[in-house]
Structure 1
């Protein structure tokens, strides 16, 4: 364990979030009664870009609230801190959706838990990760407990932004908002060096191409598959510029995503189905066993629907990583074309960014970025991946369509 984590307790897991850390420490002290301030409230909203540590901040705060140390809350050493961070504390519930949404049924179950008094800890803490996936019904169910909170319950919500498309305005208005920022390259590198034992050069390079995402920096530094995925994403920037390669590249990307998703979940699906059948009496020899299984079609359909939703979410997440890399490549090319000195998203691809800049105008590169963003939006609106990608590469191809000359002729 790095000295930073030891000195800062659980908050040592936060990267580049000094102001947020100070706010959470003050609130935890206030909640304990060690502070005369009124920093503590019953509902919190953590927002920030991917990789900034929204859920980490929420979990660290949960640990600080439960901490039994006589010193600073969130010591990281007591039983309450270690079990909270490990996800095994009896009074800390984490909702981590693996599908497209958080249903009203699931949220009502959580609301029932939230109404109980804590059993072993100081607080009943509910952490909702990806709260932007709450359905309208689920948000309304949660709103009731946020508006009339039980005495010892704290709700911690995590979402990308406070935009109405990400978070119910009414629900947002009942929460104290903490905005996390993108960690700096150096702060990410120090984490990889101190916690993961990576060589400084390796750590700094991975941090520089991670887009400010701590977890991705770690994967890029240690995982060949992650590096291959990134290379594939960046190749698409060039393949999409040519009509002869654009649509085939888009088709291959979809096939790759579908194959990876299948690999991820095949064993999980089989295990889930087997566990459901066993719970319904599968394998039994009693008189009612056959009838029970025949009547289980509805439950099996429900399981299949959840699995399909999880598959769709995974495919979208995999595609989104590619699109973010792709947008970054066109952004670097645009910076090069305009002579900007801004930090590159892909500093190891400077020559290729220069090549892209020489093949179209700044307006064309802007059109490429807009096409990528439009693809992300289309996927969010349930457009099929292949159709969304085909539309994207068509728009990108138009930006590179000759004739073009740097003089504008």
Structure 2
């Protein structure tokens, strides 16, 4: 991808590598005859689902391509005709879905359309999804729903039947590496490694390229799993993985938590360093509860990312077992992975990959992270599912 020579035009400038999807949505936004009032944007993590959803919302709400002020307001998330759900919880609750349905019934106040964007729509349970069904099927004439999820299979068939699906392409590793180098100033080697380790997830690649501690935590996790030889090792490494994921989650949320607390105290007139009066403790407690929920989700997301990294490592082992060593995600571990590929039959590696997927499902059902990881590591030791 050649370096950009000029700032891209709003609202599509932040959308990268999804030209076909952009053309589809531009066509829909420019001509009401082409509009569908419920969309599902799917694609792998990091492919730009949410970025594209907000660009589409900006194009729908603005009066035309020259209405840049409105577009900036939509992309910033402050326009009154945009309702966005970015849940800080592990799941989207029924109450959150009901509030969206209520908002969807309002006519647009300033723009051409009212747009409802639901990020991570795959976090809806069946009961929550059912709350949206009628609104998706028969929305008001000037209301548009835009759902985002990794794949169509992550949503109920009843939801899928009521939306128009738009699947995003997965970018090439080399393209992601070039983008990360341009955005962050990272060296080409670091950018290439980050893109490879992130498996083309742009946001994760950017973090790995700019955060040496995140790179170190990832490397430590993979090497620790490779050293597991006994049940005692499994218990120790499972605890260490949760500890590292907790550290990672704190690194992501600590600064934001502090900024939110400072902003709240400033808004209610409490000077820095001054003890908050009893009258505002309820507000502070509510903020802290929200932050705890966000921390829980961040930890679960961090453990899920560890599972993704482990899947990439054992996928490398399978590739080596079948004579393919030219496309390893974790080439830095080449010697260890080749030794494992020779020591294990392919069936054992495939059993580990199956158990990693089972562990992901167990965590989605609120299994205790340490116990779920211990169970997974027992399979690494034995090659048999517990």
Pick the TM interval, shorter chain. 0.7 to 0.9
Aligned pairs, how many?
371
How far, CA to CA, are the matches of 2:6 and 2:309 in structure 1?
A: 31
Show CA shifts across 1:226-273 (max 9, x none): 20221123113312345553321111222333455456657839949x
Answer yes or no: is the 8 Å Cα contact 1:208–1:345 preserved in 2.
Answer: yes
Secondary structure at the aligned position of 2:13 is classed as helix
Shift of 1:120: 2.1
| Counterpart pick for 1:340 among 296, 309, 324 | 324
Matching residue of 2:126: 136
TM-score by length of 1: 0.81
How far, CA to CA, are the matches of 2:375 and 2:11 in structure 1?
A: 46
Shift of 1:55: 0.9
Answer yes or no: is the 8 Å Cα contact 2:225–2:237 preserved in 1.
Answer: no
Matching residue of 1:227: 215
Answer yes or no: is the 8 Å Cα contact 1:45–1:175 preserved in 2.
Answer: yes
Q: Which runs of 5+ in 2 are unaligned?
A: 269-275
Show CA shifts across 1:337-393 (max 9, x none): 210256222233322321221222222211221221121111112110111011111
Show CA shifts across 1:166-225 (max 9, x none): 212212211100111221112212322333344444333322222010011111111112
Matching residue of 1:209: 197
Show CA shifts across 1:61-88 (max 9, x none): 112223444xxx4x7x811222222222
Larger Rg: 1
Matching residue of 1:310: 294
Matching residue of 1:17: 18
Show CA shifts across 1:144-172 (max 9, x none): 22222112111100112222xx2122122
1:46–1:351: structure 2 CA closer, same or farther, 3 Å change rule?
Answer: same
- 2:368 counterpart of 1:368: no
How far, CA to CA, are the matches of 1:180 and 1:145 in structure 2?
A: 25
Matching residue of 1:80: 70
Secondary structure at the aligned position of 2:7 is classed as helix
Q: Which runs of 5+ in 1 are unaligned?
A: 32-37, 401-409
Answer yes or no: is the 8 Å Cα contact 2:197–2:309 preserved in 1.
Answer: no
Answer yes or no: is the 8 Å Cα contact 2:12–2:22 preserved in 1.
Answer: yes
Secondary structure at the aligned position of 2:327 is classed as coil
Secondary structure at the aligned position of 1:11 is classed as coil
Show CA shifts across 1:292-349 (max 9, x none): 99xx8xx999877755543332221111111111111111111112102562222333
TM-score by length of 2: 0.85
How far, CA to CA, are the matches of 1:193 and 1:27 in structure 2?
A: 33
- 2:30 counterpart of 1:46: no
Matching residue of 2:314: 330
| Counterpart pick for 1:151 among 141, 153, 156 | 141
Matching residue of 1:252: 240
Answer yes or no: is the 8 Å Cα contact 1:103–1:137 preserved in 2.
Answer: no
How far, CA to CA, are the matches of 2:140 and 2:5 in structure 1?
A: 36
Shift of 1:130: 0.7
1:59–1:367: structure 2 CA closer, same or farther, 3 Å change rule?
Answer: same
How far, CA to CA, are the matches of 2:13 and 2:338 in structure 1?
A: 39
1:254–1:205: structure 2 CA closer, same or farther, 3 Å change rule?
Answer: closer
